[in-house]
Structure 1
Amino acid sequence: MIREITRDDFEAFWPTFSAVIKAQETYAIDPELTLEQGFQLWCKSPMKTFVFEEDGQVIGTYYLKPNSQGPSQHICNCGYMVSDQARGRGVARKMCEHSQVLATELGFKAMQFNSVVATNEVAVRLWKRLGFEIIGTLPNAYQHGKLGFVDCYVMYKWLVPWTRHD
């Protein structure tokens, strides 16, 4: 079940969230972030934040927010996080599909991931299968916790039927 997040949900997911940012393998988030700072960043700053719940356990979460403002406000940005025990079970796929439907309902025309760590091959493959394209590479943009400096990708997907206004 995917539903909007509560404070209790985030606190229940915090051990996973904290472990992910401390590993410094996928998210450009300060590894010393406190629970309160994490709640503000993940749940309060975005437009919407959701959890993926299974058998009463929060096993994933994602946020959706505008990627830019003004003339680029039609593009949104999302971030997804899944617990270790739920990896490989389609949770990220389901959250991404949910986020794309929600994005179009909210009036967004495209979705952009600003910094997908290139060594996160599972995520890169999934996003490509869901129709995202790598539109740019940021050389040495991420200081990986184990590998040192690695590249990041900008990935993009147009979400609605294409229209051109001349």
Structure 2
Amino acid sequence: MAYVIKEKKPLIHLPYLPKDGTLKDGTTVVLDRYCNKYEADLHAILKFIVNEEGDSYPQEDMTDVEDFRAYYLSHDVFICTNKETSELLGAFYVKPNFPGRCSHICNSGFIVKNSVRGIGVGTFLAENYLYIARDLGYKASFFNLVFVSNKASVGLWRKLGFKEIGRVPKAGNLKGLGYTDALQFYYDLETLPKTSS
């Protein structure tokens, strides 16, 4: 691991959370800060993505709950739930991509439950992520490894106006795909409008 970033910023109040939304299929959802009652569900989603799918995160195993906590829950985490059933649909973390003098640039990891993909959970999370990251005090967002095979993710970041600033050849040995290139995306959070829609 290149950096270990232990320092965590104090909790910043985001007055617009919880925030309601409506997905493409009409499902009403709520975006809010993570709370511990969703730990098992969140871990199960990431474990499935890493262990079973193996084509979007660099880790090879996310079985151990302590590994999950250290990686995904170390900083700010936000979840999307079904407003009627409270089912966890997806989530993202926000944390510094680099330590110290470069900690104003954040990184994020998005996950969407397999059974609800394709109805706009990822888009809802991503659109809100930009404002949340900015309001947490970050100046920019940088995604180190977006595998070219992850067409939904690549398309989403391009649609939202992220700049493609690099390509890492053979960045990941992905399950069922072999060595796959990754793209790097950058977004200047200071260019966002003052408030989210």
Q: Secondary structure at the match of 1:160?
A: helix
Q: Which residue of 2 aligns with 1:139?
A: 169
Q: Which residue of 1 aligns with 2:122?
A: 92
Q: Is the 8 A contact 2:42 2:88 kept in 1?
A: yes
Alignment map for 1:53-92 (pairs within 5 Å): 53-54=81-82, 55-92=85-122
Q: In structure 2, do the counterparts of structure 1 residues 146 and 6 end up closer, same or farther at CA, with 3 Å as the change threshold?
A: same
Q: CA RMSD in A?
A: 1.5
Q: Which residue of 2 aligns with 1:103?
A: 133
CA distance in 2, matches of 1:8, 1:75: 29
**Equivalent pairs, count:** 160
Deviation at 1:59, TM superposition (A): 0.7
Q: Once the two structures are superposed, what CA deviation does each residue of 1:65-122 show, in whole Å capped at 9, x if it has no partner?
A: 0111333222111110001122111111111122211111122111011111110011
Q: Which residue of 2 aligns with 1:158?
A: 188
CA distance in 1, matches of 2:77, 2:119: 21
Deviation at 1:13, TM superposition (A): 2.8
CA distance in 1, matches of 2:159, 2:191: 19
Q: Once the two structures are superposed, what CA deviation does each residue of 1:28-68 show, in whole Å capped at 9, x if it has no partner?
A: 1232541232122111x22x001110121001011000111
Taking structure 2 as the reference length, the TM-score comes to 0.76
Taking structure 1 as the reference length, the TM-score comes to 0.90
CA distance in 2, matches of 1:68, 1:158: 16
Q: In structure 2, do the counterparts of structure 1 residues 99 and 30 end up closer, same or farther at CA, with 3 Å as the change threshold?
A: same
Deviation at 1:159, TM superposition (A): 1.3
Deviation at 1:21, TM superposition (A): 0.3
Identity of aligned residues (%): 28
Any gaps of 5 or more consecutive residues in structure 1? none
